[in-house]
């Protein structure tokens, strides 16, 4: 499965991570460093962002890229984010073009 990690730190590139089917939730939780809250990605059915549900209370740094991707006008997304397909499926299961979109946005992605 492929997940997309969007670090809050703008100096860190977006990256595509390969995960085992059985480890999806645990790996996403590890990368956001907390309990997961799901945020929908507007314009992409069946894509979800995993964010730290306590990110605001932990005063995590804003994630400008994730806020832009989520089109979250009324909510600032903070901390590192993991983009998955619905129910922790691979991002390219429903939207194979998403990998090329991310590669175009962040040319350093393998």
49-90 residue pLDDT tens: 999 999 999 999 999 888 887 765 567 899 999 999 888 888
pLDDT tier for residue 106 given thresholds of 50, 70 and 90: low
Residue burial 16-50, b: 16+ Cβ < 10 Å; e: rest: beebeeeebeebbeebbebebeebebeebeebbbb
Return the domain boundaries, the chain: 2-105
């Amino acid at each position: 499965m492929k997940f997309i990690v969007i670090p809050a730190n703008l100096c860190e590139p977006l990256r595509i991570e390969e995960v085992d089917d059985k480890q999806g939730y645990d790996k996403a939780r590890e990368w956001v460093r907390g309990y997961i809250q799901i945020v929908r990605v507007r314009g992409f059915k069946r894509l979800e962002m995993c964010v730290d549900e306590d990110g605001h209370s932990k005063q995590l740094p804003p994630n400008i890229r994730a806020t832009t991707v989520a089109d979250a006008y009324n909510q600032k997304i903070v901390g590192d984010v993991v983009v998955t397909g619905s129910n922790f499926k691979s991002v390219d299961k429903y939207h194979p073009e998403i990998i090329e979109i991310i590669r175009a946005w962040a040319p350093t992605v393998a």
